[in-house]
Amino acid sequence: MNAKKLTFRQCLKELLKYVKPYRLKLGIALGMVVVSNITYTLNPLMEGKITTQLASDAAGILEGTPGAHVQFDILFRIMGVLLILYLIKTVSQIFTAFFLTDAIQQTMHDIRNALQKKIQRLPVKYFDDRAFGDILSTVTNDVDTLSNALQQTLTRVLSAVLTFVFVISMMLYVNVYMTLAALVIIPLSILITRVFVKRSQKMFDMQQKTVGELNGTITEQYGGFNEILLFNRQGAAIQTFNDVNERMASSAFRAQFVSSLISPFVSLVTYLTIGTVAVMGCFFVIGGTLAVGELQAFIRYIWQINDPLSQVSQLSSQMQASFSAMNRIFTLLSEEEELRDGISPDLETMKGNVSFEHVQFGYEEELLMHDVNFQVKSGQMVAIVGPTGAGKTTLMNLLLRFYDVKGGSIKIDGIDIRDMNREDLRRLFSLVLQDTWLFSGSIYDNIRYGKLTARKDKVIDAAKMANVHHYIRTLSQGYDSFINEEANNISQGEKQLLTIARAILKDPKILILDEATSSVDTRLEKRLQEAMHKVMEGRTSFVIAHRLSTIRNADLILVVENGDIMEQGTHEELLAKGGVYAKLYRSQFADQVE
């Protein structure tokens, strides 16, 4: 199921797809980089002309040449050209920053949208195998890392390449022999960079991985903060965090330290080259074949060669981190999606007849269910009972096509659900889980989530049927009362009632209640059961329950154990058999008597 790790070329190809819509803005930005670098390479030569002119005028004055003086008119013309070059460079840099920032941020906007849409299309199994914090890290940290890298390195790398080409041309123009001596810096710098980059890339991969682990740990601990306090496990939580944090700090130190060694080694080569070229240049100046201003310009050009080499070496850590981030992003985007094709039946005419026919299933290679068979007629209430981990919820996951069967078939009104479009299939259902889910917003919006087109009076009717309307009216803002991000400003029981109201509002053909009443007290449960009987009238319903007293009136009771159905029948039939259900019922009844 896991996608293979992509190569750099594959990642770059995927990135270019997102950059393509903004290629005009990017082209303008890169064009301005070219203009900026042309002016950058012309500056030393023009500055050198000032030095040469002053040296020539000074020599004439010292030698007593008649009429010798400082020719300010020539100096001002050169300085005027320099000023124009400086202005052009500044304006081009401003244009580069504007258009590049716009193009990159729009690209990141599209990538974030693509990740969000991708996550919505991934199968449930993907999330079973991964920590939520790791996925969150990809959508946030990795995208930010890629954004920063593109923002800071794209123009600097291009500028480095252009500077290198233009500067070499100018150096050849000044003196070929000195240029050949100076070019020794290039292969040595490339060799140094290659050696250190090769050693540090694996370290950067580990750094990005541990960032994901750290996010996962933080998310997990804050999600269970109350439980940590309750069991006095703060010390263990801190130790777990410290362990992951230590691994991250260690991997980040190794990656950053190794990559940071590139710059000082490249600078050492540059200093040695400048010393050698300076000695050669002095002989050329003494020999009269090179002007002193040209020697000055040449030494500046050597520094300009060092700048791109040094920049690339300094950015190597960021580029390697961005590659690791880019790999994680596009690996997620290349994951296999949940198939959504299939027929779209007329949902209005669907009745809700359900049949499991010789169903086989297992999360891994080993089968959990071997031969599951049962028939449910439209409008019937089916109760599913059994010990924890027996496979009760798995049955419903298969019915909803969160997972596909490995053998046999599940049919609704005679149609194999594998032939149905997943979205259309799930429109038939309302699902109420034991673990409630509410989002940050008003109570009204949370209930209306079940049917966005519903009028407010329908929302209120659903709340009344779920016996939560009275509670909502006691709040100062009623249905406009705000539920915070953690939904911890209302009780667990009230949250459950709101999710039930949401399910009622959808008016589904098939209703699934997975321990839906487990979070309410006995008095409220009784009222809720009365409401649920009204809701279940005329529609197929599946109720997963541990309290057997609540499902006596079920049309069909399925007793699940070790993934398979051990018994099925009505309450009276199963008691008469004296089997697994009878033992479960009597044990609960005995507990209640005690």
SS (H, E, C) 387-445: CCCCCHHHHHHHHCCCCCCCEEEEEECCEEHHHECHHHHHCCEEEECCCCCCCCEEHHH
SS3 343: strand
Q: Which tokens go with 168? A: 């070499």
Which residues of the chain are under the pLDDT cut of 50? Answer: 1-2, 591-594
> Tell me, what's the pLDDT at 4?
62
CA dist., res. 461 & res. 482, Å (int): 20
Burial zone of 87 (CB within 10 Å; 0-12 exposed, 13-18 middle, 19+ buried): exposed
- DSSP-assigned letter for residue 454: -
Burial 511-531 (b: 16+ CB within 10 A, else e): bbbbbbbbbbeeebbeebeeb
**pLDDT for 594:** 37
Main-chain phi, psi angles of 43, to 5 degrees: -55, -50
The CA distance from 457 to 455, in Å, is 5
Instruction: Measure the CA–CA gap between 383 and 542, rounded to whole angstroms.
Output: 6
Q: What are phi and psi of 324, to 5 degrees?
A: -60, -40
Q: How far is residue 445's CA from residue 482's CA, in Å, rounded to a whole number?
A: 10
Is there a contact between 462 and 505 (Cβ–Cβ < 8 Å)?
yes
Q: Locate tokens 């740990």: which residue?
A: 217
pTM: 0.68
Phi, psi of 560 (to 5 degrees): -105, 135
- 38-52: pLDDT as tens digits: 888 888 888 777 877
**Cβ–Cβ < 8 Å for 428, 350:** yes
The whole-angstrom separation of Cα 474 and Cα 472 is 5
Q: How far apart are CA 285 and CA 56, in angstroms?
A: 13
**Does residue 566 contact residue 579 with C-beta atoms inside 8 Å?**
yes
Residue 42: Cβ within 10 Å count: 17
pLDDT of residue 558: 92
pLDDT tens digits for 366-380?
888 889 999 999 989
pLDDT reported for residue 296? 79
Query: Distance of CA 260 to CAs 147, 192, 251, 576, Å?
Result: 21, 12, 14, 78
Give, for 379, the enclosing helix (H) or strand (E): none
b/e per residue, 554-565, with b = 16+ CB within 10 A?
bebbbbbbebbb
